[in-house]
Structure 1
Amino acid sequence: MSDIIDSGVLQTRAAELVDMARKAGADEADAVIVRGRSRSVSVRLGKVEATEASESDDFSLRVFVGRRVASVSANPGFDLKVLAERAVAMAKASPEDPFASLADPDRLARSYPDLDLFDPAEVSTEDLAAAALEAEEAALAVAGVTNSSGAGASAGMGGLVLVTSHGFSGAYMGTRFGRSVSAIAGDGTKMERDYDYDSRLFLSHLKSAAEIGRTAGERAIARLGPRQVPTQKNVTVVFDPRMARGFAGHIAGAINGASVARKTSFLRDMMGQQVMKSGILVTDDPLIVGGSSSRPFDGEGVSGEKLSVIEDGVLQHWFLSTSTGRELGLDTNGRGVRGGPSVTPSSTNFAIEPGDIAPEDLIRSVGTGFYVTELIGQGVNMLTGEYSRGASGFWIENGELSFPVSEVTIASNLKQMFMALTLANDIDRKFGVAAPTLAIEGMTLAGT
């Protein structure tokens, strides 16, 4: 494990690559190495179906010649000098980009914290197979579960090494462990499926395989005998936390500076304006110790800070990298993500902060409505905010979940949905996007 954790060799190689680029004629350059190691096992009906393992160290060099920029990528074993010369030649032949450059030197992280992202626990392929088999066995043991769509377990690690020509050199690495299972209940044309999964940085923090399997089985059983409901307007729709995380992802996408710069976000003209109810807070924090998407610095070497991106319902920030910020006339806020040769802004630990009502009380207050546990399709237009997706879940009557519902469509506009949110207090922050159970008033439901 120590040779995987120690990134000193990779930092040295990245520094040599940057130096070669400068000697080849680059005014500025940065080199990034994305390291990944993973193993996974999938099983079905008590038998191992697949075992996969991968290792990679992906090198990328970005060079600037004046306002011209080019990037090249390579695998280990390449010739540094040849790669640097090719990148500079490409830059000289490229059109000028008025916004591209390294981050300003005064924005670079001169020191950064240990965010406790790495678990040295050793997990063998046999351990992964045993966990997946246990999860599936627990799901099949639930009365009424008739089949399995399979189960899986995984373990991996990944990290980033970044060196720039203006003095930054840094590295970090994190681990990830996961378990999942999908269960089928019923027979023939009346079968229903549901799932459960967990993903954590630390192996000891994972839910047990037995609990994951039992939950998947119980969820599948609860969906048996679904009904359809009539088409109706002004329905209050409650999103369970699994679906609420996806809804939070729409918010994160709408405030991404790259989308704003391209004018493809329906919130592009809403900075400083009310976009949610008063009292609602949405945050993004890259420096949470042990956070699922924490990072001590971004893909440009800038250390980010916690942002209240929406505060008291008012939009306060875009997610910005250096180039995107300059295009919008703003400074980076340390949200640049290195995807190979490019840098684009993205969220980190993103959360719709919870309200002060228990989810059971929120459902009770709805009276009559629709509780969504699964969404189908990609019917979200981020340019206009139009929202229309297939859904299944449970009908709410007299403040209680009364019977399963399937084959309906829920529709509205995200602008209206953002302003109609009521939040429960049950947030789970183990994922990079977090949200509590939430209710949205005034949606249209298309059924029979």
Structure 2
Amino acid sequence: MNHHLPSRDRLKQLSEMMVDLALKAGAQQADAMAVEGRSVSIDVRAGALEQAERAEGSEIGLRVLIGGRQAAVSSSDHSPEAIAAMAERAVAMAREAPVDDTLGLANPGQLSVRRDAEGLELAEDAPEPAPAALQDIALRAEAAALAVSGISQVESAHASHSQRRMWLAASNGFSGGYGRSGHNISVVAITGEGLGMERDYAAESRAFASDLPPPEEIGRLAAARTLERAGARKPPTGAFPILYDRRVAATLVSHLLSAVNGSAVARGASWLRRDLGAQVLPAGMDLIEDPLRPRYTSSRPFDAEGLPTRRRAIVTDGVLQGWTLDLATARKLGMESTGSAARGLASAPAPSHSNVILTPGAGSAETLMREMGRGLVVTSMLGASINGTTGDYSRGAAGFWVENGQIVHAVNECTIAGNLREMLMTLVAADDALAWRGAEVPSLLVEGMTVAGA
């Protein structure tokens, strides 16, 4: 492989070579991905550098199909001899795989005309930030958190940058690729000590450095959230309304997205499997997917099977419009792919979402809290027991207890439970969704869930 080629051309050549060698080895169809990336990550603590990491690498992945059988393999060895051996191995593996007649590449007529991410602004055309510049950002974030009275220490302050480029080629004629850049800042702050210690964090990530908030703002937010946790105790046990703060409200939507994923629906393992065309959210509420949002870190111009991505409604006016499908799950269900395939280098495609937006409400989260009267505001979650088939839901939670519409104390170590179908039908949305998130979801009030606390 010619390492003097620009990375885009090198990845294209690698991907197309894998497909050619797979067909020579006996595959009927094949698709291949080549990915290269590099990242620099800096962690500081107590005003000094604690850890600096630089990672660089390129990986290749090949999927072969033979008469309804498939196999996927990956490697970091790019020599033609290694790729030829990888293709032989994949073909041998595929011949032993179970038959699934829904497997197969897209027809050429289904393929995306777009073969790059032009106009989506996914990759910043700027020099990589120097480690010293990232360290300065992390130190500024840490200093801002420590400057807030009551913060005893900062557990970690982190700044990182990554660049990644991928290319996808397939025997149906598809060949396309694009790059991404990422910038991240995060801070974890601590207040108190011993058993009274509480921690919280703030973090932001963007494709473009200029879209990030100042590091001081992230440090101060981590400090403010941490101080609010001081004196946390368990809430009472009973049935109460719960306000999911915008920090965690997207998890509710993620359970809905899991239930409309074609993989779960095709297996009969979704609590929504019989609800296409039925009401699943309150009237007036839409859930939109838009993979084409410029500068968003999870946007994509085409999916992992080379199909065009598009803005689409998953739920309109509370009514479920469709499943999220790749080619195989679409064929299983007698439908068309929604251009939603994602895959790893050594895995087959599977449906996935990018950039979902839930209709916001008219009032603030504070207004919803006042209307709630007595109940729980949830700001963080841990552990989950979700029954995908029935929608039964139980999660560990922490946040704040509310009496007479006002926060009275922080809450830790409680469990909240309910049934997703019933919970989602009672949602009331606030107007506070944050931009730049893969799921743009405001704070959500849920009626009558069970809280297990003190």
Q: Same fold (TM over 0.5)?
A: yes
**Within-5 A mapping of 1:52-91:** 52-78=53-79, 79=81, 80-91=83-94
Task: Choose 264-273 or 299-308, whichever is displaced more.
Answer: 264-273
Residue 378 of structure 2, aligned match among 372, 384, 398: 372
Change (3 A) 1:211 1:5: farther
Q: Which residue of 2 aligns with 1:305?
A: 310
Corresponding residue for residue 319 of structure 1: 324
Q: How do 1:390-429 residues align onto structure 2 when only pairs under 5 Å count?
A: 390-429=396-435
Match of 2:247, SS? helix
2:268 paired residue number: 263
| Map of 2:439 onto structure 1 | 433
Distance 1:405 1:5, change over 3 A: farther
Question: What amino acid maps onto 1:420 in structure 2?
Answer: T
Match of 1:347 among 344, 353, 366: 353
Any residues of structure 2 matched to 1:130-141 within 5 Å, and which?
Answer: 130-141=136-147
Q: Alignment partner of 1:40: what SS?
A: strand
Alpha-carbon distance in 2 for matches of 1:105, 1:145: 59
In 2, Cα distance between equivalents of 1:295 and 1:54: 24
Q: Is residue 60–residue 78 contact of structure 2 (8 Å, CA) maintained in 1?
A: no
Give the Cα separation in 2 of the matches to 1:32 and 1:42.
32
Q: Is the 8 A contact 2:102 2:328 kept in 1?
A: yes
Q: Is the 8 A contact 1:299 1:336 kept in 2?
A: yes
Kept in 2: contact 1:42–1:51 (CA 8 A):
yes
Q: Give runs of ≥4 in structure 1 deviating > 4 Å.
A: 3-6
Aligned equivalents of 2:426, 2:185: Cα separation in 1: 35
Q: Does 2:365 align with 1:359?
A: yes
Instruction: Return the alpha-carbon distance in structure 2 between the equivalents of residues 330 and 35 of structure 1.
Output: 34
Displacement of 1:6 in angstroms is 4.2
Matched residue of 1:181: which SS? strand
Residue identity opposite 2:301 in structure 1:
P
Give the superposition deviation at 1:71.
2.1
Amino acid at match of 2:344: G
Q: Please give the secondary structure, in 2, of the residue aligned with 1:189.
A: helix
TM-score w.r.t. structure 1 length? Answer: 0.95
Write the distance in 2 (CA, Å) between the matches of 1:243 and 1:161: 34
* Contact 1:248-1:434 at 8 Å conserved across structures: no
- Measure the CA separation in 2 of the matches of 1:176 and 1:290: 10
105, 108, 113: which one aligns with 2:108: 105
Q: Deviations over 1:335-390 (max 9, x none)?
A: 00021231111001122221222222222222222111111222322232121222
Distance 2:392 2:57 in 1: 40
Q: Distance in 1 between matches of 2:71 and 2:382?
A: 39
Tell me which amino acid in the other structure corresponds to 1:57.
S
Change (3 A) 1:403 1:92: closer
2: distance between equivalents of 1:356 and 1:293? Answer: 27
Tell me how far apart the structure 1 counterparts of residues 443 and 258 of structure 2 sit (CA, whole Å): 20
- Measured against aligned partners, the alpha-carbon deviations of 1:147-176 in whole angstroms (never above 9, x if no partner) come to 221111111022321111111110011111
TM-fit CA distance, 1:4: 9.9
Q: Indicate conservation of the 8 Å contact 1:32/1:163, yes or no.
A: yes
1:308–1:17 Cα change, 3 Å: same
Indicate the SS of the match to 1:416.
helix
Query: Alpha-carbon deviation of 1:81?
Result: 2.6
Change (3 A) 1:124 1:4: farther
- Work out whether 1:9 is the aligned partner of 2:10: yes
Higher alpha-carbon deviation: 170-179 or 18-27: 18-27
Q: Is the 8 A contact 2:416 2:452 kept in 1?
A: yes
| Correspondence for 1:166 | 172
SS of residue matched to 1:150:
strand
Distance 1:374 1:276 in 2: 23
- 8 Å Cα contact 2:8-2:165 kept in structure 1: no
CA contact (8 A) 1:5 1:173 kept: no
CA–CA distance in 1 between the matches of 2:238 and 2:135? Answer: 47
- Contact 1:283/1:309, CA 8 A, preserved across alignment: yes
Code of the residue aligned with 2:55 in structure 1: it is: S
Q: Unpaired segments of 5 or more residues in structure 1?
A: none
1:403: how far off? 2.2
Q: Indicate how the Cα distance of structure 1 residues 230 and 105 shifts in structure 2: closer, same or farther if over 3 A, else same.
A: same
In 2, Cα distance between the equivalents of 1:5 and 1:77?
16
Q: Which amino acid aligns with 2:110?
A: R
Note if contact 2:106-2:172 (Cα within 8 Å) is conserved in structure 1.
no
- The CA deviation at 1:236 is 1.2
User: 2: distance between equivalents of 1:370 and 1:33?
Assistant: 47
Question: Distance between the aligned counterparts of 2:237 and 2:98, measured in 1?
Answer: 54
Counterpart of 2:43, as a letter, is S
Q: Show the counterpart of 2:202.
A: 196
Q: Is the 8 A contact 2:287 2:316 kept in 1?
A: yes
- Structure 1 stretch 246-255 or stretch 319-328: which is displaced more? 246-255
Q: Is the 8 A contact 2:114 2:302 kept in 1?
A: no
| Pairwise CA distance, 1:5 | 7.3
